[in-house]
Amino acid sequence: MSGKAVFDLFVIGGGINGCGIARDAAGRGYSIALAEMNDFASGTSSGATKLIHGGLRYLEHYEFRLVRESLMERETLWAMAPHIIWPLRFVLPYHKGGIRPAWMIRLGLFLYDHLGGRKLLPPTAVLDMRSDPAAKPLKSLFTKAFEYSDGWVDDARMVVLNARDAADKGALIMPRTKVVSAKRENGFWSIDTVDAISGQTASHQARMLVNAAGPWVDHVIRGVFGRNEAHNVRLVQGSHIVVKKKFDGERAYFFQNPDNRIIFAIPYERDFTLIGTTDRDYKGDPKDVKISDEEVRYLCGAASEYFSEPVRPEDIVWSYSAVRPLYDDGASKAQEATRDYVLKVDEAEGAPLLNVFGGKLTTYRRLAEHALEKIREAIGAKGAPWTAKSRLPGGDFSVVGYKDQVKSLRQRYPFIETRHAERLVRCYGTNAAVILGNAAVAGDLGRHFGGSLYEIEIRWLMEKEWARTAEDVLWRRTKQGLFLMADEAARLEDYMAGIRRAA
Ligand SMILES: Cc1cc2nc3c(=O)[nH]c(=O)nc-3n(C[C@H](O)[C@H](O)[C@H](O)COP(=O)(O)OP(=O)(O)OC[C@H]3O[C@@H](n4cnc5c(N)ncnc54)[C@H](O)[C@@H]3O)c2cc1C
């Protein structure tokens, strides 16, 4: 051993699971380092449908443990981060002779309402589609619909806020740092990393290693640990399209397709509709995943079965694609593979290793608690579970306090437009006022980059949230990429490069 500090834990992967484990562990007093080879949430954790949901569909696959845990988490997570998580009502249109009989949907929704954890979210309702405004954008096929509750989350922001909180609690957080090798030496882990920007190498020591590399988990087992064989995860691609707003109102739609799958159409970033997702096995490197023409046709076709105005490929303003790292349970169809997570500890040669397989955004906090139980057994206990009653940065306000937050931000900074204030509160919660600080006139926000992006926010993102490039800001820390023109994005990139050079 060198004289260097030995961390209790070293985490590979800055997606929701790695950052969630790092935050929980740091809060309990473990010393911890985390390496992410790109930007936080640049893997699967920014490519989700972004629901904090029980997973109504998983009931058909008898995943009661997962559904119950997920349902219980909805209100816990909402209270932890009411800026980036909020309730969403889903409208499930029904017509006779449809894919599933009404009794089955009723039974599913009854279980959904009663399996546990629902205190504030309203229960299922039945809608009369002859009069309900939810029928307006749809074909006139439906006389009835079911309406139920789940939640929405800004996935990429949930990841970075976990990383931020872990760092505030003492964790060493290293974005753009790839783990290239990890070996057991004298009862410890010796881990080599490469800085993706400078190419500099470094080595670290830890008592325990956590492999939370998501869809790369088997790559890490093979490439980093040098094992020949590893087939633990089934990679399943899912893609989404974003089109100009297809409907008014705040409710989302749940559409059933003839192939037994379902897709969602969700109000997105105020002016848009998010439609997804697909489910197909994926064989390549997860970083190369891209929506295919076939998926575009599938999503447009499926949504056009319901909307009276069809969704056409030329309506798409943005799309994204990601790979689910599902634990390989040998299911025949991609859509049937379990969505539950599996944690496996390997202590064969001394220093313990925890591999994380699967997991959802919704279950990340519970996954981290379960991981901490394994960590406690392997290297000894530190603090008790604490995250259930915690707040993510900026989330220290009431679950019903969003409107008041916007109002008080506008009172304090009257030169900010309502829409801008709303976005800031949605991104940063109570930290919106910290970002704006002593700004007294619009000019104090600094340079305007397009959309509602100003220099003052970019500086915060670079200083506090590890943003480095325009892409980090436009597509992960915010979704302002939907509102900026290409030349505006290029000017933002130049500006950020200037700050990097000066640093
Ligand atoms: C289409 C789709 C829709 C989904 N919808 C939902 C939903 O609505 N609700 C929900 O709850 N869940 C949803 N999920 C599931 C959820 O998004 C994922 O389960 C979750 O994001 C996985 O997080 P992760 O941390 O395990 O993986 P990732 O986010 O991929 O993180 C792993 C990280 O490890 C890093 N890494 C890999 N190798 C190395 C290395 N050698 N060194 C350093 N870093 C490395 C990668 O760069 C990556 O950032 C969806 C998933 C998909 C694909």
Please work out whether the CB of residue 31 comes within 6 Å of at least one atom of ligand 1.
no
What does CATH list as the number for 86-152+234-330? 3.30.9.10
pTM: 0.97
Answer yes or no: are the C-beta atoms of 93 and 253 closer than 8 Å. Answer: yes
Q: Where in the chain is the domain with CATH 3.30.9.10?
A: 86-152+234-330
What's the confidence (pLDDT) of residue 1?
46
DSSP codes of every residue in 72-83: HHHHHHHHH-TT
Q: Where in the chain is the domain with CATH 3.50.50.60?
A: 6-44+156-232+339-389
Answer yes or no: are the C-beta atoms of 12 and 217 closer than 8 Å. Answer: no
Nearest atom within ligand 1 for CA of residue 50: 8
Please work out whether the CB of residue 33 comes within 6 Å of at least one atom of ligand 1.
no
Nearest atom within ligand 1 for CA of residue 287: 47
Nearest atom within ligand 1 for CA of residue 42: 49
What does CATH list as the number for 6-44+156-232+339-389? 3.50.50.60
What is the Å distance from ligand 1's center to 380 Cα? 28
Interval 348-398: pLDDT, tens: 778 999 999 999 999 999 999 999 999 999 999 999 999 999 999 999 999
- 3 state DSSP class of 293: helix
Please work out whether the CB of residue 151 comes within 6 Å of at least one atom of ligand 1.
no
Q: What is the 3-state secondary structure (H, E, C) of 314-342?
A: HHEEEEEEEEEEEECCCCCCHHHCCCCCE
Dist. CA 308–CA 419, nearest whole Å? 29
Q: Which one of 39, 216, 240 would you pick to mutate in the ligand 1 pocket, going by the greatest count of ligand atoms within 8 A of its CB?
A: 216
Please work out whether the CB of residue 47 comes within 6 Å of at least one atom of ligand 1.
yes
What lies within 8 Å, CB to CB, of 24 at 6+ separation is 365, 368, 369, 371, 372, 385, 386, 387
Q: Encoding tokens for residue 400?
A: 């019903």
Residue nearest to atom 1 of ligand 1 (CA): 238
Q: Where in the chain is the domain with CATH 1.10.8.870?
A: 402-502
Please work out whether the CB of residue 473 comes within 6 Å of at least one atom of ligand 1.
no
What's the confidence (pLDDT) of residue 215?
97
Please work out whether the CB of residue 220 comes within 6 Å of at least one atom of ligand 1.
yes
The count of C-alpha atoms lying within 13 angstroms of the C-alpha of 417, restricted to the half-sphere facing its C-beta, is 7
Q: Which one of 12, 42, 45, 363 would you pick to mutate in the ligand 1 pocket, going by the greatest count of ligand atoms within 8 A of its CB?
A: 45
What is the Å distance from ligand 1's center to 233 Cα? 12
What's the confidence (pLDDT) of residue 3?
58
Q: Which helix (H) or strand (E) holds 424?
A: helix 418-428
What is the Å distance from ligand 1's center to 215 Cα? 7
What is the Å distance from ligand 1's center to 310 Cα? 32
Residue nearest to atom 41 of ligand 1 (CA): 179
What's the confidence (pLDDT) of residue 317?
98
Please work out whether the CB of residue 484 comes within 6 Å of at least one atom of ligand 1.
no
Residue nearest to atom 27 of ligand 1 (CA): 214
What is the Å distance from ligand 1's center to 162 Cα? 14
Please work out whether the CB of residue 395 comes within 6 Å of at least one atom of ligand 1.
no
Where the chain has pLDDT below 50, the residues are 1-2
Its CATH architecture, for the domain 402-502, is Orthogonal Bundle (1.10)
Dist. CA 315–CA 326, nearest whole Å? 31
